[in-house]
């Protein structure tokens, strides 16, 4: 009889422990943070994903990383954001394709006390508690300075930008154009086109510009897809060595082009740092800790002289 009572007591204890454990899990669910990028098609976004995953592991949170197939698919990104918000996450990280179109959903997030962290590209709103990104205006201005030096301070140049709706597209275009206009009076920007970050579309646009402006001396591609498109166009029209190509981002085709001399140089960001800082800021915001409104993740110019240096090599993504 005594053995029966002891067994009964042990069963009860196990049930109590199991119940308490279940209540504990229910009271402390794992933190979930959806990370919505602009896309997946470039190595840049894969590097951002690596950084986000590194932070998720370090801070012991769950993340998802997704983005539309094309950086022109604003509607699809908005659908992704809507779906993410419907899951009531603890915070959300967003690289907005359209700096204005997402604002109604960000207002919804704010009303639900869901902190929003911008990364790579900000929005025209103060709702994001932080944005982890490159100073794209300053970086594009540096690209303009390099272009001016490389073409001898005079001549015609053109620009291919990924879009005119995202903060990165606007800032890189304006950073480059405004620096040229304000500092280099003998350089004329003859055309600016938008290739949606698609290298095929950017190639066609760049070829059309070169055919319309046979004296073109320089070309700036404002992101990975734009720069590769310009490189393709220069190669196809046999203008290698005649037109100075300056790019943005890295990726294997650009790295190879810099090594071979087809591309004079480019601006590289710190994509792993962008992903890492975005998720880190989200965790801090969830915990109620103070977060910097702007997290500058840095940028660098690279060319044949420093592409293999210890400073630059870790920042290139191929």
Tell me: the pLDDT tens digits for 237-276? Answer: 999 999 999 999 988 999 999 999 999 999 999 999 999 9
Tell me whether residue 306 is in a domain.
no
Span 32-42, pLDDT tens digits: 999 999 987 77
Residue 132 CA, distance from chain mean position: 9
Helix, strand, or coil (residue 315): helix
How far apart are the two ends of the chain, measured CA to CA in Å?
A: 72
Query: Domain total for the chain?
Result: 2
Query: Is residue 188 domain-shared with residue 244, that is, in the same domain?
Result: yes
Tell me whether residue 57 is in a domain.
yes
Tell me whether residue 98 is in a domain.
yes
Query: Is residue 55 domain-shared with residue 119, that is, in the same domain?
Result: yes
Looking up residue 40, the CATH number of its domain turns out to be 3.40.50.2300
Query: Is residue 140 domain-shared with residue 243, that is, in the same domain?
Result: yes
Query: Is residue 263 domain-shared with residue 147, that is, in the same domain?
Result: yes
Residue 9: pLDDT band by 50, 70, 90 thresholds?
Answer: low
* Residue 122: per-residue pLDDT: 83
* Residue 40: per-residue pLDDT: 79
Query: Is residue 128 domain-shared with residue 194, that is, in the same domain?
Result: no
- Total-model pTM: 0.78
Query: Is residue 123 domain-shared with residue 160, that is, in the same domain?
Result: no
Query: Is residue 123 domain-shared with residue 156, that is, in the same domain?
Result: no
Which string of b and e fits 272-285 if b means at least 16 CB within 10 Å?
A: bbbbbbbbbbbbbb
Query: Is residue 72 domain-shared with residue 129, that is, in the same domain?
Result: yes
Query: Is residue 168 domain-shared with residue 112, that is, in the same domain?
Result: no
Given a contact cutoff of 8 angstroms between Cβ atoms, the answer to whether 163 and 96 are in contact is no
Tell me whether residue 2 is in a domain.
no
Given a contact cutoff of 8 angstroms between Cβ atoms, the answer to whether 218 and 244 are in contact is yes
Range of the domain at 216: 136-269
Tell me whether residue 27 is in a domain.
no
Query: Is residue 128 domain-shared with residue 180, that is, in the same domain?
Result: no
Q: Is the pLDDT of residue 6 over 90?
A: no
Query: Is residue 208 domain-shared with residue 231, that is, in the same domain?
Result: yes
Query: Is residue 125 domain-shared with residue 150, that is, in the same domain?
Result: no
Tokens found for residue 33: 């943070």
């Amino acid at each position: 009889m005594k053995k029966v009572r002891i067994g009964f007591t042990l069963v009860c204890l196990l049930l109590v422990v199991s119940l308490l454990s279940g209540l504990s899990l229910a009271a402390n669910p794992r933190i979930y943070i959806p990370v919505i990028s602009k896309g997946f098609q470039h190595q840049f976004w894969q590097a951002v994903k690596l950084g986000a995953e590194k932070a998720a592991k370090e801070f012991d949170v769950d993340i998802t990383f997704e983005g539309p197939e094309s950086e022109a698919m604003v509607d699809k990104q908005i659908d992704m954001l809507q779906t993410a918000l419907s899951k009531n996450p603890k915070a959300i990280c967003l690289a907005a394709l359209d700096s204005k179109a997402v604002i109604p959903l960000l207002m919804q997030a704010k009303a639900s006390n869901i902190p929003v962290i911008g990364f790579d590209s900000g929005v025209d709103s103060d709702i994001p508690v932080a944005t982890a990104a490159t100073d794209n205006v300053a970086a594009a201005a540096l690209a303009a300075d390099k272009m001016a030096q490389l073409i001898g301070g005079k001549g015609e140049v053109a620009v291919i930008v990924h879009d005119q709706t995202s903060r990165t597209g606007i800032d890189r275009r304006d950073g480059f154009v405004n620096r040229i206009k304000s500092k280099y009076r003998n350089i004329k920007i003859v055309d600016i086109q938008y290739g949606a970050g698609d290298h095929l579309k950017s190639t066609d646009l760049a070829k059309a510009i070169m055919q319309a402006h046979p004296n073109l001396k320089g070309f700036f591609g404002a992101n990975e897809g734009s720069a590769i498109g310009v490189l393709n166009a220069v190669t196809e029209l046999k203008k290698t060595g005649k037109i100075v190509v300056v790019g943005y981002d890295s990726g294997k085709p650009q790295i190879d082009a810099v090594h071979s001399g087809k591309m004079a140089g480019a601006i590289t960001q710190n994509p792993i740092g962008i992903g890492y800082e975005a998720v880190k800021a989200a965790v801090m915001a969830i915990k109620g800790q103070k977060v910097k409104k702007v997290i500058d993740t840095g940028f660098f110019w690279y060319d044949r002289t420093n592409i293999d240096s210890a400073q630059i090599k870790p920042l290139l993504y191929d």
